[in-house]
Structure 1
């Protein structure tokens, strides 16, 4: 379609056209004349198309109405009246992304797909959801997704229930989450950023149905919308669809959704926040200190990018001067930063974790002293070059960890578009980088520190301190409040709550009619390619076994070294993980560790070290433990990468005890964050250690057993320093041998010889010890632990290995997983139970699990797991529903892979002994799955659950209430 400025296409007037060379796209800005809807299209040849419709949604309070509405509009609409169109889409779409996001000032509804028909279906369902939701028809939607009083009979206690209510109870259990949610409140108390858009659990129950509906009426109008399209598509046809199906029915109106700016402070604001810890934890060294600054406007392109680089420079590398000063000053055991730019006034934060309130003044003074010194004496130019290079490398690579790049570009567009600027200003980075690079011979960053930090009174200091018994105190207050409420109610009012509860539960268990289900658009099996995609892999024997993956990489070489660690003794397994955190962060013979970090970031796109294990397909016992050195580099700099790898692998010094202690403290701190943030995965993985070789190994290597190990090391470091150094040297010498190495290289065919010639020095640096294999004698048994924390919710897991029970793996198990996740568990654990989520998995080695996320329940959820087998014995759906589950499963199998991901997936399959024939067979088994196949798995599920291996991570009181379920009750944190 050839377009002209000022012309109108299907109701949309073309306002501007812009070539955006940095992302190889043409940007077109439209406005729908009748409705006032704004539309930005990024035209390019990417077949992974993205659509998003977003709204400005500034909240006035912390009831979480934008967040609850984000959940609720996806619970049925005019054209698609089923209870959960979102879930029906997930079950039966080839989407590459499908979700929704609540930000502090906007709500986004993005979808992506490589299939044209599917893409149009997704657009249709999402547009109908936001403009014509069923929230006005069914108050039960807000009750379910937001909050409600639950009362089963007049003698029972009233309780609060709701998906967002429990999600935010979980979020407000994590001190890191509390910290980052309160930073914006401390900096912008008079604006939309001074309240909690996600919802504060203490305030969520103040939201009424009337306020809920009014918020939608006000903000969810096309005049307040931002529509985004990306990829290779017929834009004229998409504009016609938007106009005819939706926008032509709306008239332009004025929507007061202005995003307010906070008036600058005259002096620094100080805020004290408390967070709960369990009664058995110590309060010492558990305070968070943060100093925060409001930094200009998000529409200032230069500050937006430069401060991102400055935050990295000051706080994110081993050579970062501010991080080093705070660690050396023993202010906290972990230091990190944040630059949050997805808001009108971006925030820069400096955080010290595992500190104490008494260190507050020293924390403030040391930050100011360090930054003043940097301004006065100048920042090391190599450090500046390193941080600029690593950020530029990331932008040019455009690899966003599996997220469609079109989705990331939509978020960057909103960072200016929402604030009345052009949507492409943050996508055009070349000219900005040229300005920023003047920092290499000027006072660019020094002046920035002086202006935006040292001379900026618009700042805050947050102290987030632990308090024992706070959680129990809060729960007791809620119980009393609800008990007092019940006493104050008339019999009629109590009966009304009971009837509302009954009505909600009836809706939750009532199946959608077949007629309504058929209204959700569905692809056919014929829309699915019956052939699995082949991953690029060429085996080369050149002294070292090499797996070459010839794909277009835009001039980047992805080089991964897989060292087997089978020769490491059982008692040394945790040191493999410590080695992965230490390498590149301690000194070598040639470089002091700060200089090493600079050299890595100047000359490469990064070097990372990962310890993990791969299970052999179809084998419940056999696994392959690996130590992976992952690196990426521009092909012309492979020689520089080789020199750095030689230095790190062959000449790392493990005897700097001060530095080792700092790294161990940071490692422990980061694991604590994972335990709070990903408790469902932590519990499920720990559960595998009860019965599985690979589960036990990975638990010792990087799971909860490793956390206990690292916590013990940190506590007794001074007595163990020499031993730690000695064991790291031993493990390093055992791993880095030619006999252990499998090399993986992802790059273009034409560049392979250049790579090979420049990478040879690395082989010469490796030892010549023959490969060794240790026989691990792990002990197993149903420990069935209750892992107690101060969290207000649970993560409930149950698991076993079905191959041990005589069953075998089939692709049909992946269809079963889709049905369990988006039908059985979704309805039982999320919709009816009020948990934020629940998941299952069935692996090729036989390990399977059920797990829940931010779950208010414990024994009820375990009962749901135990009854799953019976449910599937009588499982019955029609052909259309079965097709839906199959297509949804294929969506997971066909997730688009970046060049680096293609190489990594190919190596993973190679190590696991998964052939292309296995992958094709799995696909055929998925495509040919019948209802009877799913029914047959009822025994597999029942038999696995009957083994009664369970693990729960969660609230101390809840676990103690249910202590009869557990064989052991354990405090995770000291």
Structure 2
């Protein structure tokens, strides 16, 4: 929990829930308050587990086309029949309503990446709402919440975000339906303490305005369209998403089946709105008419730690657990049928027919082969604002509304695509992604064309609002993704693609997380706001000649004729000239003189925990060693690194992984002992080279790797690897056979050649507080 509370947003959210619902279980920290955890006794833990983790206190959920009777029989035989029914008495009573509003002020660590800024306050106003088991009212209030805060046309977005008083919404903004009594919160973070009364006044006035004026019909219709497309959109986590959606209501004895009848709830909502045009205003009146500086110390009893360490070092008997065999894995997988045609501008269009439930998915990759080096840091910022500034005749509010009315969203993101066969070649560019109901395909493509060919970059003031929000979002994301940032930084000196990845999505993009002194690099949004006016980032002449659609991917339920395919995709790219040869999807590196070299970097950040990345240059996807390295990474994680880093070292997580680009990465997450972890990485390499693992260990690693290789693929993503990386089914089958063929000798061999002393180039990166080891070692660069 020490790592969890390194995040000020998490601290704020936890206290908000504790103070808003103080009379029962929600007044406590579910994972344990750090100062109280050492006081927990074994007997208390055992009693709590016996009561709360009992089948009498459980809900069973199955998803898929499996025989229900067999599942019920298995549940009875393996669980229910082995227990006696008890009364756990875990029902949560309603929170007693207060007679008058309450106010609470808490203190936490300042923004680690905005040290010295006077705007360090977060203010939020929250309203307790009805019991979530009232599914009809919960549906209405969830919709009302979205109308109030989501998108640039929402009242609170206009009043708070565009006021300039803060950098972004406060944590937990909007409707929260995970507790028995739902609640709605709205506020700002990045606020000067003197502006807190102004923020509260704006919230009150905005609610009064909504009660007086209501919402535009198009806003409501856009939100209902969003629900419709969400019901049709399929993903590989659809079953888990359903579980998450119904869990809270069901756990509080609500009706999960009623909750899933979204179509009926939408119809009922429409009827209520037709019968009473002021229905939503009355709900606002009914429910809505009525700050964060050092972290504490966390003691740990050392003698208990020694006892635990002894137990952790003992071999575990896993023979009682059910297990698959490698022979159970299918030797091959079905192929994906793809068609390629040429649209206007000679752009290659890949089409794939899939059961998409009436939804069309479109992606376009715009290659940037000759992008000037000085513009590269601004690509992520351009991607963040490109779909939000307006286009054609639409201002940014009208554009946002059209996107919600006609699509399931339009996203733009920078990509570095490594070559499957060469470590030093890659493709850089921008990926456009969107989806819509089939009937709206032409409208969505028209929007794409307007965004791409006629963006509106005149709104410099709103551009600055978007930049501040981007900066705050990036800063907030570091505590949850620090291991990824460390890994990206560690790999930057190993391959040209890794160097560019740091520019596009590494700490260079984070305010205060760039080069020496942590003052922010040229590409960070906050520095862009200070040093680069809107027109220098979004000037079309700077990008024209470099950005053009290179290829497009369309996935839908029904086949699309070549003519219609050209028409749909030509809307986007018809006016853009295209002259580059397309014989190969990847390009040579921008700097042909690039040489891999070792590097060690410690980025000083005032967190109580650290994040570590240790990267090694190994072999690309098509190289025979790639399969062995992939199995080795999983083997080292399960049989060595997890035990040493997580169980003994106390980090939240740690392990090894191999990227498609051929970079082998050791990492740790929320790590209280980074110096020891670096030693553990070296020990892990020695462990692998000495072959201290069994054939069963290898088989388990293969099963884990194949569980990822054979993970379900959403219909919308079929053919995506071919579209982005040029990977064919034949290439996938070749690696599948290589994975099957991996043996003990091959694992030891690649461990020696790539991970041993004097092997491939290493890059190390550490994000976190000062560290005696790095401070005393001149080979480390401290930033």
TM-score normalized by the length of structure 1:
0.74
Pick from 562, 575, 588 the counterpart of residue 766 of structure 1. 575
CA deviation after TM superposition for structure 1 residue 185, in Å: 1.0
Matches within 5 A, 1:192-271: 192-271=25-104
CA deviation after TM superposition for structure 1 residue 942, in Å: 1.8
- CA distance in structure 2 between the aligned counterparts of 1:549 and 1:224, rounded to whole angstroms: 46
Instruction: Check if 1:565 corresponds to 2:565.
Output: no
Matches within 5 A, 1:113-128: none
The number of equivalent residue pairs is 758
Structure 2 portions without partners, runs of 5+: 511-519, 582-586
Instruction: Check if 1:920 corresponds to 2:729.
Output: no
Instruction: Check if 1:539 corresponds to 2:352.
Output: no
- CA distance in structure 2 between the aligned counterparts of 1:750 and 1:280, rounded to whole angstroms: 52
- CA distance in structure 2 between the aligned counterparts of 1:507 and 1:317, rounded to whole angstroms: 53
Matches within 5 A, 1:304-383: 304-335=138-169, 337-383=173-219
Partner of 2:392: 589
| 885 and 302 in structure 1: CA distance in 2 versus 1, 3 angstrom threshold | same
- CA distance in structure 2 between the aligned counterparts of 1:357 and 1:877, rounded to whole angstroms: 58
Matches within 5 A, 1:797-946: 797-803=613-619, 809-910=625-726, 914-939=727-752, 940-943=754-757
Instruction: Check if 1:647 corresponds to 2:450.
Output: yes
| 198 and 562 in structure 1: CA distance in 2 versus 1, 3 angstrom threshold | same
Partner of 1:523: 324
Partner of 2:461: 658
Secondary structure at the residue paired with 1:854?
strand
Matches within 5 A, 1:333-482: 333-335=167-169, 337-399=173-235, 402-403=236-237, 405-438=238-271, 442-454=277-289, 457=290, 463=291, 465=292, 467=293, 470-471=294-295, 474-475=296-297, 478=298
Secondary structure at the residue paired with 2:360?
strand
Pick from 294, 307, 318 the counterpart of residue 503 of structure 1. 307
* Contact kept? 2:249, 2:255, Cα under 8 Å: yes
1:467-525 superposed Cα distances (whole Å, 9 cap, x missing partner): 3xx14xx33xx56xx7xx9xxxxxxxxxxx64x5443222211223xxx3322212222
Structure 1 portions without partners, runs of 5+: 1-167, 458-462, 486-496
- CA distance in structure 2 between the aligned counterparts of 1:916 and 1:814, rounded to whole angstroms: 19
| 814 and 535 in structure 1: CA distance in 2 versus 1, 3 angstrom threshold | farther
Matches within 5 A, 1:615-626: 615-626=418-429
* Contact kept? 2:414, 2:429, Cα under 8 Å: yes
* Contact kept? 2:425, 2:589, Cα under 8 Å: no
* Contact kept? 1:187, 1:294, Cα under 8 Å: yes
- CA distance in structure 2 between the aligned counterparts of 1:866 and 1:376, rounded to whole angstroms: 66
CA deviation after TM superposition for structure 1 residue 860, in Å: 0.6
- CA distance in structure 1 between the aligned counterparts of 2:7 and 2:535, rounded to whole angstroms: 34
| 732 and 606 in structure 1: CA distance in 2 versus 1, 3 angstrom threshold | farther
| 930 and 717 in structure 1: CA distance in 2 versus 1, 3 angstrom threshold | closer
Secondary structure at the residue paired with 2:104?
strand
CA deviation after TM superposition for structure 1 residue 233, in Å: 2.2
Partner of 2:515: none
- CA distance in structure 2 between the aligned counterparts of 1:718 and 1:519, rounded to whole angstroms: 61
Instruction: Check if 1:176 corresponds to 2:9.
Output: yes
* Contact kept? 2:420, 2:660, Cα under 8 Å: yes
- CA distance in structure 1 between the aligned counterparts of 2:654 and 2:745, rounded to whole angstroms: 25
| 268 and 533 in structure 1: CA distance in 2 versus 1, 3 angstrom threshold | farther
- CA distance in structure 2 between the aligned counterparts of 1:569 and 1:623, rounded to whole angstroms: 16
- CA distance in structure 1 between the aligned counterparts of 2:595 and 2:120, rounded to whole angstroms: 34
* Contact kept? 2:617, 2:760, Cα under 8 Å: no
- CA distance in structure 2 between the aligned counterparts of 1:390 and 1:668, rounded to whole angstroms: 27
Pick from 671, 680, 691 the counterpart of residue 474 of structure 2. 671
Q: Counting strand residues as a fraction of each chain, which structure ranks higher?
A: 1
Which has the larger displacement, 751-760 or 346-355?
A: 751-760
- CA distance in structure 2 between the aligned counterparts of 1:428 and 1:722, rounded to whole angstroms: 46
Secondary structure at the residue paired with 2:60?
strand
| 702 and 885 in structure 1: CA distance in 2 versus 1, 3 angstrom threshold | closer
* Contact kept? 2:521, 2:527, Cα under 8 Å: no
- CA distance in structure 2 between the aligned counterparts of 1:953 and 1:351, rounded to whole angstroms: 30
- CA distance in structure 1 between the aligned counterparts of 2:524 and 2:60, rounded to whole angstroms: 52
Partner of 2:544: 733
| 752 and 409 in structure 1: CA distance in 2 versus 1, 3 angstrom threshold | farther
Instruction: Check if 1:554 corresponds to 2:365.
Output: no
Secondary structure at the residue paired with 2:374?
helix
* Contact kept? 1:603, 1:633, Cα under 8 Å: yes
| 195 and 517 in structure 1: CA distance in 2 versus 1, 3 angstrom threshold | closer
Secondary structure at the residue paired with 2:503?
helix
* Contact kept? 1:668, 1:711, Cα under 8 Å: no
Secondary structure at the residue paired with 2:532?
helix
- CA distance in structure 2 between the aligned counterparts of 1:435 and 1:794, rounded to whole angstroms: 51
CA deviation after TM superposition for structure 1 residue 758, in Å: 4.8
Partner of 2:404: 601
CA deviation after TM superposition for structure 1 residue 320, in Å: 2.0
CA deviation after TM superposition for structure 1 residue 377, in Å: 1.5
CA deviation after TM superposition for structure 1 residue 652, in Å: 0.9
Pick from 747, 752, 761 the counterpart of residue 556 of structure 2. 747
CA deviation after TM superposition for structure 1 residue 915, in Å: 2.8
| 782 and 349 in structure 1: CA distance in 2 versus 1, 3 angstrom threshold | farther
Matches within 5 A, 1:32-71: none
- CA distance in structure 2 between the aligned counterparts of 1:646 and 1:807, rounded to whole angstroms: 40
CA deviation after TM superposition for structure 1 residue 750, in Å: 3.1
| 301 and 688 in structure 1: CA distance in 2 versus 1, 3 angstrom threshold | same
CA deviation after TM superposition for structure 1 residue 808, in Å: 5.8
Pick from 529, 532, 535 the counterpart of residue 717 of structure 1. 529
| 882 and 656 in structure 1: CA distance in 2 versus 1, 3 angstrom threshold | same
1:579-612 superposed Cα distances (whole Å, 9 cap, x missing partner): 2111121122301110110011011111111111
CA deviation after TM superposition for structure 1 residue 622, in Å: 0.4
| 451 and 841 in structure 1: CA distance in 2 versus 1, 3 angstrom threshold | same
CA deviation after TM superposition for structure 1 residue 812, in Å: 2.2
| 435 and 965 in structure 1: CA distance in 2 versus 1, 3 angstrom threshold | farther
1:435-492 superposed Cα distances (whole Å, 9 cap, x missing partner): 22357652232222222212xx4xxxxx2x2x3xx14xx33xx56xx7xx9xxxxxxx
* Contact kept? 2:249, 2:256, Cα under 8 Å: yes
1:104-129 superposed Cα distances (whole Å, 9 cap, x missing partner): xxxxxxxxxxxxxxxxxxxxxxxxxx
CA deviation after TM superposition for structure 1 residue 558, in Å: 0.3
CA deviation after TM superposition for structure 1 residue 349, in Å: 1.7
* Contact kept? 1:188, 1:262, Cα under 8 Å: yes
